[in-house]
Amino acid sequence: MLVYKFGGTSVGSIVNMNHVKDIIDSEGTKIVVLSAMSGTTNALVEISELIENEKQISAKEKIDLLKEEYNNTVYKLLSNTQIRKEVATYVNAIFNSLRNAVNQPYDQQLHNFIVANGELLSTYMFSRFLQQEGINAQLLPALEFMRIERNNEPDLFYIKQNLNRLIESSEKAEVYITQGFICLDADGEITNLQRGGSDYTATIIGAAIKADEVQIWTDIDGFHNNDPRYVNETSALSNLSYDEAAELAYFGAKILHPLTVLPVRNLDIPLRLKNTMAPDAHGTLITNQIHGEGIKAIAAKDNITAIKIKSVRMLLAHGFLKRVFEVFEKYETAIDMVTTSEIAVSLTIDDTTHLDFIIEELRKFATVAVDDYMSIVCLVGNQIIYHPDTPTLFQVLQDVNVRMIAYGGSNNNISLLVNTNDKMETLQKLQRYIFENEKHLVL
């Protein structure tokens, strides 16, 4: 079986929904994971924030506005009057429940409930649309099988059992539609896989049913060798290994949720990125095969905070790094980059929730300096440490102020830390040094 995932833009307009219909209207049973229509999750987050800030009237206004948009879509998408009526009733019920949420006490659970509605709306509307178009589609409610454990890892055992049971007990269909992003937590409450989490839903499902392939359909033709928002003339990468794709997804190439690769990597299930607006383009195929050597892609991750920890006592002392890392461990804060010298260690984090406590604890045994508004520029490829072209990238150091370099941690990655203000220039210069001057790099 194949798993397809379509992102917010792919289901964000009637024209695009028709593209999606054409793509999935092919031989073979498939599971189709959908995001919310583009803009909806953002709108729901705003509604949630208005409620949190006790701006009930504005929250209601925003809900009504969003409802009107959905009513319009339903009217235009569905010509079959019976189906249109049923979908309108469903949409109405969802918006009533949102309106009810406005006057409830605000907490994380209420927030999670509010933001879950985007995927509920898109999947119901789209599955009924497919039925109208004569495609045998059934809805598989994600909240009946998708669940995470207390450590936020997917509960694969539970997911496998419940998804298979659900498929067996529902009417046979060519296309099973389900919600991306949303799931239950270990206590059975609604939660989600974080923003962009529909990609992750797709590969978790792929692993649970041992799919032949997982395809992520979005609005760009796969991973590019640099960030198209900042650099002209980037090109799509036709093949990547799981490791390369995981690094790129984690370090900023916005196209994939950072954890997407993990569930399929273990089972060697191919992951393919495709463009809904250009379905004939090759896209990027991600497998365990390594294609070529050298630097293949550059990506950048913003909102990075650098922390420099310095202690004269570190000189010739052991145990200092352990003490430092224990502080981050205690506050469950992941470290992305680390560099050390004899008396200092610099590292970066992107989650600053507990930064104040972390600094306070570090100051008990070291001096601490913090820099924010930093970006990690990450170069990804295979065997890049040994590749003869790699030294050319250091030409960039003459021109931009690189604050930290992580080189040698893995064969797949070199990371540079720069001020976010310098990011665009760094990406553009690297593009020139690495891709535009070199003939024998593998793209």
Residues forming the site for ligand ASP (CB under 6 A): 7-8, 35-36, 41, 118, 180-181, 195-198
Q: How far is the CB of 108 from ligand ASP (least distance, A)?
A: 17
C-beta closer to ligand ASP: residue 76 or 195: 195
* Site size toward Mg ion, by CB under 5 A: 2
**Least distance to Mg ion from the beta carbon of 216, Å?**
8
For ligand ASP, the closer CB: 201 or 426:
201
Q: Binds 222, which of Mg ion, ligand ASP, none (CB < 5 to 8 A, cut-off by type)? A: none
In the shown chain, the binding pattern of residues 6 to 45 toward Mg ion, with x for contact by CB under 5 A and - for none, equals: -x--------------------------------------
- Residue 118 binds: one of ligand ASP, Mg ion, none (C-beta under 5 to 8 A by kind): ligand ASP
Smaller CB separation from Mg ion, 256 or 379:
256
Choose from ligand ASP, Mg ion, none: what does 154 bind? Cβ within 5-8 Å by kind.
none
138 binds, among Mg ion, ligand ASP, none (CB under 5 to 8 A by kind): none
What gap in Å lies between CA 283 and CA 199, rounded to an integer? Answer: 16
Q: How far is the CB of 400 from Mg ion (least distance, A)?
A: 29
Shortest distance, position 74 Cβ to ligand ASP, whole Å:
19
Can you give the length of the chain in residues? 443
Q: Which one of Mg ion, ligand ASP, none is in contact with 283 (Cβ closer than 5 to 8 A by kind)?
A: none
Shortest separation between residue 118's beta carbon and Mg ion, angstroms: 12
The interface with Mg ion within residues 146-205 (CB under 5 A) comprises 196
CB of 368 to Mg ion, least distance (A): 36
Q: Find all residues with CB under 8 Å of 363, minimum gap 6, and list them.
A: none
- Part of the chain binding Mg ion (CB under 5 A), chosen from 1-9, 60-68, 176-184, 417-425: 1-9
Kindly tell me the burial class for residue 314, based on how many C-beta atoms sit within 10 Å of its own C-beta (0-12, 13-18, 19 or more). Answer: buried
Mention every residue, 6+ apart, whose C-beta is less than 8 A from residue 254.
Answer: 196
Q: Which two tokens stand for residue 140?
A: 């598989």
The CA R_g of the chain, rounded to the nearest whole Å, is 24
- CB nearer ligand ASP, residue 197 or residue 294: 197
Structural tokens at position 79: 């010509």
Task: Give whole-number Cα distances, 244 to 198, 299, 395, in Å.
Answer: 21, 12, 23
Q: Which is nearer to Mg ion, 284 or 382 (CB)?
A: 284
* Residue 252 contact, options Mg ion, ligand ASP, none, Cβ 5-8 Å cut-off depending on partner type: none
| Minimal distance, residue 194 CB to Mg ion, in Å | 11
Interface pattern 111-140 for Mg ion (x via CB under 5 A): ------------------------------
Give the binding site for Mg ion (CB under 5 A): 7, 196
